[in-house]
Structure 1
Amino acid sequence: MNSLSMPVGHAPDRIWLQSYPRSVPAELPPFKHESLGALFDESCRLYADRKAFTSMDRSMTYRELGEKATAIASWLQGEGFRKGDRIAVMMPNVLQNPVIVYGILKAGMTVVNVNPLYTPRELEHQLNDSGAVALFVLENFAHTVEAVRARTGLTRIVVTSLGDMLGLKGHLVNFVVRKVKKLVPAWSLPGAKPFAKVLSEGSRRGFTPVAINRGDIAFLQYTGGTTGVSKGAVLTHANLIANKMQMALWLNSSFENRPRPEIMTFICALPLYHIFALTVNSLMGVAIGGHNVLLANPRDIPAFVKELEKYPINIFIGLNTLFNALLNNEGFRKLNFSHLKLTFGGGMSVQKPVAERWQQVTGCPITEGYGLSETSPVATANPMNTGEFTGYIGIPISSTDVDIRDEDGNSLPIGEVGEICIRGPQVMAGYWNKPEETARVMTADGFFRSGDMGVMNDKGYIKIVDRKKDMILVSGFNVYPNEIEEVAAMHPGILEAAAIGVPDQHSGEAVKLFVVRKDESLTEADVKAHCAANLTNYKRPRYVEFRSELPKSNVGKILRKNLRE
């Protein structure tokens, strides 16, 4: 079931088109590229001498990126792997990541992105569910692979080290990482190939071009498993090319009334194995000949700020927790933001107090968008030419329909809360080997049911109210954690907050708020008084628990399910 074959309908008469920037068309133009490999090859040719990616002060040009990715593709072919084989990649934001990913795509194989912080149980599930036959892994995580290798179908494992692509400096980096910081647990993977050897073997082998069409699978992108077991969203070459084109149109509109930098420099702090950075940083960056500055550990905020000092960053892709952490760093607030043209927020709701402070500090508004792994990911975004934070997730992007529906799949009128349903060329082909799960989320008329609750206004702007499963029911009233968390974030003494529902014999459920203090003198009474001043009675937290930190996903999303457990 591929979204591309679906008729494009007129979910509430596409009222959002009235809100489009003047340069953005309602429909995408015809595709120029048949595959991501073709798009990649063209960029490497057009922008050969430009910097493509930088990591730890070492930059790689498009020419070098193209040569090394071709070597990976040749090596995979020489090992007997064929078009359609699933190849897993388990590494953070290092130069090897784009080299390997584009090499796999060029060979017509399917990338299975793996979170390197996975436990053995999670890794084993994903390798076996995807049927991965080979794996590229950073040595820091090789011990996890060792724990499960015998129970997987892997026939080739390639191990790389942090310093592998850093030139002479790499030897020092490896020494520090292994011996001083002791960040590489002992591992043993007999027969595993070192990355450097794979590159040299691949560069000596000839590459045989592969016929790849748009319907071929580019990525199996595993969703975080919020509904239980982690599932692979099947993303085709067409899905990702469409989303890249949609984002490029949106990006272009932000320069309708101002000069555009000749070369766009992106900061890539979100992990490339996550769909948001994969499309918006890597694919977008490559397509426009941009320069991505990779950060392997964005949680080290002081080191992050030092990187930001070195480069004229034009495009900042992030999410609420990251914006918030940076704003609370004194060094960040002193940076020169004159080059910053665009801040794009997604992954979770951007809170108004955070957006207001970001604009105050950087002079650049946060443009919020929305999407999921299943939508490659971007489905809606705010226009980028307005210069303001709206508090909405925006309007459906080109060739995309969004309909707000009730439990029975009926379209709801403007202003009513229901499930956000999405149709467009970026919607996945389905879940890998899970027809029942696919049928559960895909409607007969080709819409993907997101599981998120939202509301649309008369200009076509959508507001997320919350995840279905996160909704709290207090005496029959729906309470949305996002709203409570946003109110909590307005208090100057609160750094972060998360709200969940807990059982209550009087009201069915009551609100519990977990708080990380910014001001150590903050009390439970202070928090409750602040919430009482800003929230109606049934929405107010009955319980407040102080924590030193909140559980977060690999991307920095606060995990309410962990707090519920």
Structure 2
Amino acid sequence: MEKPWLRSYPPDVPAEVDTAAFASLPALVAPSVAAWPDRDAFANQGAALTYRRFDQQARAFGAYLRHKAGLQPGDRVAIMLPNLLQYPIALFGTLHAGCVAVNTNPLYSARELLHQLVDSGATCIVVLENFAHIVQQVLPSTSVRTVITTKVGDMLHLPRALLTNFVVAHVKHMVPEWHIDGALDFNDVLRAGAVSDMSALPINGADTALLQYTGGTTGVPKAAVLSHANLVANVLQTEAWVRGVLTPGREVALVPLPLYHIFALTCTLAFMRLGATNVLVTNPRDLPALIKEMKHAKASTIIGVNTLFRALLDTPGVEDAASGTLKLAVAGGMAMQRSVAERWQQRFGVPVTEGYGLTETSPIVCANRLDAGHFTGAIGLPIPSTEVAILDDAGTPLPLGEPGEICVRGPQVMQRYWNNPEETAKVFAPGGWLRTGDIGAMDEQGYVRLLDRKKDMIIVSGFKVFPNEVEEVVAAHAGVLEAVAVGAADERAGQVVKLVVVRKDPQLAEAELIEYCRANLAAYKVPKIVVFRDEPLPKSNVGKILRRAVIEQEGSAAAG
């Protein structure tokens, strides 16, 4: 097929990369461990792990899973951690053991966690003790037999580790009571694993590395099966795109996005390939602390979403952050607003480089040139070894400039959905094209522009919210007759969830319904706006609520 985007490539970016150069993610980072053993690979809360120490502890964790916990190759290990030093150790330890990592959002409610653990068939979970009470609630209904818990300060130096854990548990009261028989301590696991055989199991590129959960048209979360080869390919593709700007062995990357989000994870793996120090930010909502960290670390790279970049720019003290050190700012997860991008460039002299991807593509598909020097408004050019086509509903390629569905083909495209052949069949078009569900167009220079979302998903600060899931939870409330969830524009989050409800109980109040949602949904999925209607919601002739009609009605009401 014709690839007009290649004519727009920077001179130092190849059209193709050798995606078969490494058989696995551990093999991918091994050269960095060898080249920079004493350089900090990860830093967090004043502590750090060198590349050598990271590798040793990851191997110890993997050895424990194999020789003490009895996990077998292919077993699933859920990792329910925020950005702490424990995360990369648990992730790579899982991979060294030949197991499959299941990224798990620590903010999940019991209902959400139960679905993911049951669906994935996870037999082990690594969890921050702040969320162990949620695990305790669902544990009897799952296949999990090994629970490994850790505290926020466990990887810090003494006495800071003890002080941090005391403050989190007893001053801030952030650890609800929990009890799980046989739960293992993370540091005990590392010590026990260190005296076992720490050699890694051989891994094939086709072996599954990660189950990364996402939603779909049904709203039921499903897992994209990402192989080692998928992730290795996307890391090498990303590395090829940024290598001309970043100097191997000398960069500091600020990582405020959670590593359980595939965008943050893949970027961090690419930074590891370049021997960068990855500064993991545990609580990016503490903006003054984030700016202080940005300044202290002398960050040369930062990843984020539009919401975060805007919040940083609106926070006092940002004028001193990363002054003169920042080389690269990368945005993903949601559309970048021009006003935010232009303010960022004016402040730091570096544009925010926007890209595009999805969970099913590990995730990066397109990126803007790093030397663009300005905000383009496009989602960029297909990255090396990637093909993008704009297809109509019949799967026929459309001429340049005409809108259609953005479809992707390349080595980073997932193998399938986990245990879901029906959804897998829906998402793949003839010729191996992955249907993204997004509407876009490609210009003569090969730049892709995102025009609309074919799916009804709502993007809250870069996180996907699927209306059917919210509606299912709300419909279970005794006071609700019917409801539909739609997106509402929000200056800070891009979008928030808005509920349009017909009440069964006339006394049902907005506050009660929102509180009910908080108990059953992750925070970013909880509706921020509730509109009550007296008349029935519009429906099709088979009784299905017409969401698009509701959206139009709400738009008309707001305009009028």
Query: What's the TM-score bracket when you normalise by the shorter of the two chains?
Result: 0.7 to 0.9
The equivalent residue for 2:267 is 280
* 2:210 aligned partner: 219
Rounded Cα–Cα distance in structure 1 between residues aligned with 2:9 and 2:525? 29
**2:300 corresponds to which residue?**
314
1:41 corresponds to which residue? 30
Equivalent residue for 1:195, pick from 186, 192, 197: 186
Once residues 523 and 447 of structure 2 are traced to their aligned partners in structure 1, the CA distance between those partners, rounded to angstroms, is 26
Aligned to 1:57: 46
Q: CA deviation at 1:292?
A: 0.5
The question of whether the paired residues in 2 share the 8 Å contact of 1:404 and 1:421 is answered with yes
Structure 1 residue 428: deviation in Å?
A: 0.3
Amino acid at match of 1:157: V
The one of 264, 268, 275 equivalent to 1:289 is 275
Alignment of 1:249-288 (within 5 A): 249-254=240-245, 260=247, 262-281=249-268, 283-288=269-274
State the distance in 1 between where 2:487 and 2:49 align: 49
Displacement of 1:39: 2.0
Amino acid at match of 1:110: V
C-alpha contact (below 8 Å) 1:348/1:557 kept by paired residues: no
> Do 1:87 and 1:135's aligned partners in 2 also have CA atoms closer than 8 Å?
yes
Is the 1:271–1:555 Cα contact (8 Å) retained in structure 2? no
Which whole-Å CA distance do the structure 2 matches of 1:97 and 1:252 have between them? 25
Aligned partner of residue 193 in structure 2, secondary structure: helix
Counterpart position of 1:75: 64
Unaligned 5+ residue runs, structure 1?
1-9, 472-480, 486-497, 501-510, 519-550
Partner residue of 2:132 out of 142, 156, 159: 142
> Could you say which residue in structure 1 is the equivalent of 2:513?
none
SS of residue in 2 equivalent to 1:253: coil
Q: Give the deviation of 1:210 after TM superposition.
A: 1.3
The 1:229–1:560 alpha-carbon spacing in structure 2 relative to 1, beyond 3 Å, is farther
- Matched residues, percent identical? 48
String of CA shifts for 1:202-244, please: whole Å, max 9, x gaps: 0111124312110000000111456411010000011011101
- Which structure 2 residues correspond to residues 320-399 of structure 1 after superposition, within 5 A? 320-399=306-385
Structure 1 residues 225 and 455: CA distance shift in structure 2, 3 A: same
The structural deviation recorded for 1:174 is 0.4
Amino acid at match of 1:279: T
8 A contact 1:221–1:275 mirrored in 2: yes
Quote the offset at 1:388 in angstroms.
1.9
**Structure 1 counterpart of 2:77:** 87
- 1:486-497 map, 5 Å: none
1:392-422 CA distances to partner (integer Å, 9 max, x unpaired)? Answer: 0001111111111122222111111111100
- Residue 184 of structure 1 is matched in structure 2 by 175
Contact 1:75–1:202 (CA<8 Å) still a contact in 2? Answer: yes
Helix, strand or coil at the partner of 1:428: coil
**1:434 match:** 420
| SS of equivalent to 1:118 | coil
Residue 36 of structure 2 contacts residue 249 of structure 2 at CA under 8 Å; is this kept in 1? no
CA distance in 1, matches of 2:216, 2:492: 30
Q: Which residue of 2 aligns with 1:409?
A: 395
Q: What SS does the aligned partner of 2:173 have?
A: coil
How far is the alpha carbon of 1:107 from its aligned partner? 1.4
Q: State the partner residue of 2:473.
A: none
Rounded to whole Å, the distance in 2 between the matches of 1:324 and 1:425 is 34
In structure 2, the gaps of 5 or more residues are 468-485, 494-517, 532-546, 551-560
Contact 2:287–2:315 (CA under 8 A) maintained in structure 1: yes
Secondary structure of the equivalent of 1:330?
A: coil
SS of residue paired to 1:29: coil
**Which amino acid in structure 1 is aligned with residue 15 of structure 2?**
A
Structure 1 SS opposite 2:395: coil
- Structure 1 letter corresponding to 2:63: S
Instruction: Give the 5 Å matches for 1:437-448.
Output: 437-448=423-434
In the comparison of the two structures, how many residue pairs are matched?
483
* Distance in 2 separating the partners of 1:232 and 1:554: 18
Q: TM-score, normalised by structure 2?
A: 0.82
Match of 2:286 in 1: 300
CA, structure 1 residues 554+121, in 2 after alignment: closer, same or farther (shift >3 Å)?
closer
Instruction: Say whether residues 1:172 and 2:163 are aligned partners.
Output: yes
1:18 matched to 2:17? The reply is no
Instruction: Choose which of 91, 95, 106 in structure 2 pairs with 1:101.
Output: 91
User: Aligned letter for 1:267?
Assistant: L
**Equivalent pair of 1:322/1:556 in contact (CA under 8 Å):** no
Amino acid in the other structure paired with 1:275: I
Alignment partners' CA distance in 2, 1:274 and 1:129: 19
The C-alpha deviation readout for 1:335-375, integer Å capped at 9, x for no partner, is 24211001111101101011000101111101110001100
Match of 1:425 among 407, 411, 427: 411
SS at match of 2:243: helix
How far 1:83 moved relative to its partner?
A: 1.0
Counterpart of 1:41 in structure 2: which amino acid? A
SS of match in other structure, 1:379: strand
TM-score computed with the length of structure 1 as normaliser? 0.81
In structure 1, what residue type is equivalent to 2:176?
Answer: P
Aligned equivalents of 2:387, 2:529: Cα separation in 1: 30
Partners of 1:239 and 1:300 in 2: how far apart? Answer: 34
Deviation at 1:176, TM superposition (A): 0.3
Distance 1:266 1:461, change over 3 A: same
Instruction: Using the TM superposition, give the Cα deviation of residue 316 of structure 1 relative to its aligned residue in structure 2, in angstroms.
Output: 0.9
Change (3 A) 1:404 1:562: farther
How far apart are the structure 1 equivalents of 2:248 and 2:316?
Answer: 28
